Chain A
Amino acid sequence: MRTWIARGSVLVTVAGLALAVAACAPPTKSSDSGGSSGAASATSAADLGGMDKLVAAAKKEGQLNVIALPPDWANYGNIIKAFTTKYGIKVNSAQPDAASQDEINAANQLKGQGGVPDVFDLGSAVALKNTAMFAPYKVSTWSDVPDALKDANGDWVNDYGGYMSIGYDSSKVPAPTKVTDLLGAAYKGKVALNGDPTQAGSAFSGVVMAALGNGGSADDISKGVSFFGQLKKSGNFLPVDPTPATIESGQTPVVIDWDYLNVAQTKTLQGKINWKVVVPQNAVVGSYYVQAINKGAAHPAAARLWEEFLYSDQGQNLWLQGGARPVREDAMQKAGTIDQSAFTALPPVTGTPVFLTQDQTQTATTYLTANWAKAVS
């Protein structure tokens, strides 16, 4: 009898402990940014006493933690280099291959540590779900950003966007103009989608583009899913994740991805492969990524300076040179500060761009989860 009580009480204690651990998160250590405690609550450069004070505070922190920024994604490699050259602040770029959800997971797992991400660059779905983690901050060029592309409170702001495109090796396949061209025999075993639509935002938008190109709409993604089903049946669909390595080796001659990513490949492979990019007519899906500052950033002043840099003319033009469309492009065009040659080099777009709302994304996601695996298996 006594042993049963003993065993039972042990089990109950352990179970209770488990639930306690699962339920509570550890207390957050005060960030070790040393001295610039004001920066953590600054909502604009003016709060700290001006840009110079912000630069000084950031330089004192000396480091910046970024996450999920591949060097060839919208020219981030050069952006990071330019930031370090301009301010002498070391940028620690963790997990360049991570997805948006991984950024949030990392921020949660490393809370209070010196390696916690300071800033986020997220897909809109993940961003809108985690706004509680963002610290509000309005950059000095805040007024240049269209209202639809920022949060009124300053919690987040769109940074760059692009349209879904088809990149292809012009020596291996004929130039596609419409999405339905990809069903042709010339594309057998050649068409790759960047990621799994139930996991990666870019692949998700790729399916939306396919839907638009097959008579669907932003509210109806089913035509896109069935298009990929057809692609798989005809043997054209390649279930391989295109990476710079696979494109260079010729494994994935046709890649459905963001235009700025395909354009980056054109630049890298110049001389080796004639990589061309086309945004299909009347199937223009656009999306902006979201920039936000982590409330628990280890280097709050450096994080804010990073955002100031990104939204300065220099930062925006660097993005433009990476083939992405910066949010301030209208204002910069008017002011004449835009890099005109880079702007004209962007792939031409025919048709009205479609941007999915949160509700449309939700409906599409539910449909995808239930039907994607069946369509392409």
Chain B
Amino acid sequence: MTTVAHQSDAAPVDQHRDPAPASAKWRAGWRRGRQLTGVVPFFAFIVVFLVIPTLVVAVGAFAGSDGRPTLDNLSALGDGYIVDAFVRSIVLSALTAVIGAILGTLLAYALVTAKPDGILRRLVTSACGVLAQFGGVMLAFAFIATIGLSGFVTLFLQNDLGVNLYSGGVWLFDLPGLVLVYTYFQIPLMVIVFLPALDGIRPQWREATSSLGGSTWQYWRRVAMPLLAPAFLGSTLLLFANAFSAYATAAALVSQGSPIVPLQIRSALTSEVVLGHQNLGKAMALGMVVVVAIVMWLYAYLQKRTSRWLG
């Protein structure tokens, strides 16, 4: 009797302990699966149109023209003309990022001191919105029409003031010209990106400083600048990444030679003279991703620091 009782006792206890957790887990998993179906379209889209192209580039950089793995493309990245292109791209991006950051900050500060809903602010932010995103080809044409070889300003300087802009050679399609044209969309981008941070400065801090006897200079040096520094640096980095990745403006402006990396990639894909370099193009693309990824990682880190005070 006892053994039967023991046996019958043992079984029910086990049965009570397992089924609830097992079916609960199963139900929880089913529920989670159902919840995940809500985001399946988004993830499917991302996989097809973002992840797969990235992997194609990453894998292709290591593939030779016959399809087999090789490090030739990466070693070809050390060729003189490609290294030059990378250096020029980085120099161009750094220069325009710094110039854009400084001038953009001045303009953004000027906007912040104006009426928040006033006409000036609306005008300038709309203009910045247009120039930052819309540029590209149209910007290139704008500059060709301005200081191109038969541009308005060039001819004006030549005919009315006797100054030949290009006496030392045509620089519009080289690095100096690219720097000038790039600042045209870098400054507006800085305004757009940095303005929220400047908006986050509370007037109470200024009042607190002056009530404690601090001067303007001290306010800026001790209060505002340290608070704004991460946002400023982050925005500068964003400007750098933006200039580094820019293609349209340079493509429309520069027709001879490929001074910067995006144009070198175009040449690898569409050249009818140097053939079979598509995978070298992918290697260059991978190089670009590495550079931009480093910059964006720094930017994300600085963003976290910013949001602590100015969010």
Interface residues of A (CB under 8 A from B): 14-15, 17-19, 21-23, 99-102, 105, 122-123, 125-126, 129, 189, 193, 195-201, 203-204, 232, 235, 238-241, 249-251, 365, 368-370, 372-374, 376-377
| Interface range for B | 35 or more
CB contact under 8 A between A17 and B47, given known A240-B173, A249-B150, A377-B259 = yes
Contacting A239 at CB < 8 Å: which of B52, B59, B84, B174? B174
Query: Are the CB atoms of A18 and B275 closer together than 8 Å?
Result: no
Across the A-B interface, the 5 shortest Cβ-Cβ residue pairs: A241-B255, A18-B55, A239-B256, A100-B272, A199-B271
Query: Are the CB atoms of B273 and A22 closer together than 8 Å?
Result: no
Give the residues from 270 to 292 in chain B that come closer than 8 angstroms, CB to CB, to chain A: 270-276
Query: Are the CB atoms of A197 and B255 closer together than 8 Å?
Result: no
Closest to A99 in B: B272
B-chain residues with CB within 8 Å of residue A19 when the two chains form the complex: 55, 59
Give the complex CA separation of A237 and B255 in angstroms.
13
A-chain residues with CB within 8 Å of residue B271 when the two chains form the complex: 99, 101, 198-200
Give the complex CA separation of A241 and B252 in angstroms.
11
Give the complex CA separation of A371 and B84 in angstroms.
12
Interface residues of B (CB under 8 A from A): 47, 51-52, 55-56, 59-60, 67, 79-81, 84-85, 148-150, 166, 168-170, 173-174, 254-259, 267, 269-276
Query: Are the CB atoms of A22 and B60 closer together than 8 Å?
Result: yes
Q: B169, B255, B257: which has the most chain A beta carbons within 10 Å? A: B255
A-chain residues with CB within 8 Å of residue B84 when the two chains form the complex: 373-374, 377
Query: Are the CB atoms of B273 and A201 closer together than 8 Å?
Result: yes
Query: Are the CB atoms of B258 and A373 closer together than 8 Å?
Result: yes
Give the complex CA separation of A21 and B51 in angstroms.
12
Query: Are the CB atoms of B256 and A240 closer together than 8 Å?
Result: yes
Query: Are the CB atoms of B173 and A200 closer together than 8 Å?
Result: no
Query: Are the CB atoms of B51 and A18 closer together than 8 Å?
Result: yes
Query: Are the CB atoms of A196 and B258 closer together than 8 Å?
Result: yes
Give the complex CA separation of A129 and B276 in angstroms.
9
Contacting B170 at CB < 8 Å: which of A102, A126, A238? A238
B-chain residues with CB within 8 Å of residue A125 when the two chains form the complex: 272-273, 275
A-chain residues with CB within 8 Å of residue B258 when the two chains form the complex: 196, 198-199, 373
Query: Are the CB atoms of A374 and B80 closer together than 8 Å?
Result: yes
Closest to A123 in B: B272
A-chain residues with CB within 8 Å of residue B269 when the two chains form the complex: 101, 105
Additional pairs, 4, CB under 8 Å, beyond known A18-B52, A199-B270, A377-B84: A105-B270, A199-B258, A372-B257, A373-B259
Query: Are the CB atoms of B59 and A18 closer together than 8 Å?
Result: yes
Query: Are the CB atoms of A240 and B59 closer together than 8 Å?
Result: no
Give the complex CA separation of A152 and B45 in angstroms.
49
Closest to B169 in A: A235
Query: Are the CB atoms of A204 and B273 closer together than 8 Å?
Result: yes
A-chain residues with CB within 8 Å of residue B169 when the two chains form the complex: 189, 232, 235
Q: B51, B254, B271, B272: which has the most chain A beta carbons within 10 Å? A: B272
Give the complex CA separation of A377 and B84 in angstroms.
10
Contacting B272 at CB < 8 Å: which of A15, A17, A201? A201
CB contact under 8 A between A22 and B59, given known A370-B79, A376-B256 = yes
Shortest Cβ distance from residue B151 to the other chain A in the assembled complex, whole angstroms: 10
Closest to A23 in B: B67
A-chain residues with CB within 8 Å of residue B255 when the two chains form the complex: 195-196, 239-241
Contacting A21 at CB < 8 Å: which of B56, B170, B173? B56
Query: Are the CB atoms of B173 and A101 closer together than 8 Å?
Result: no
Query: Are the CB atoms of B81 and A370 closer together than 8 Å?
Result: yes
Query: Are the CB atoms of A365 and B256 closer together than 8 Å?
Result: no
Closest to A199 in B: B271
Give the complex CA separation of A248 and B56 in angstroms.
44
B-chain residues with CB within 8 Å of residue A249 when the two chains form the complex: 150
Contacting A22 at CB < 8 Å: which of B56, B148, B150? B56
B-chain residues with CB within 8 Å of residue A101 when the two chains form the complex: 269-272, 275
Shortest Cβ distance from residue A18 to the other chain B in the assembled complex, whole angstroms: 4
Query: Are the CB atoms of A377 and B257 closer together than 8 Å?
Result: yes
Shortest Cβ distance from residue B198 to the other chain A in the assembled complex, whole angstroms: 40
B-chain residues with CB within 8 Å of residue A365 when the two chains form the complex: 273-274
B-chain residues with CB within 8 Å of residue A369 when the two chains form the complex: 81, 274
Closest to B167 in A: A235
Give the complex CA separation of A201 and B269 in angstroms.
15
CB contact under 8 A between A14 and B267, given known A19-B55, A196-B256 = no
A-chain residues with CB within 8 Å of residue B273 when the two chains form the complex: 123, 125, 197-201, 203-204, 365, 368
A-chain residues with CB within 8 Å of residue B173 when the two chains form the complex: 239-240
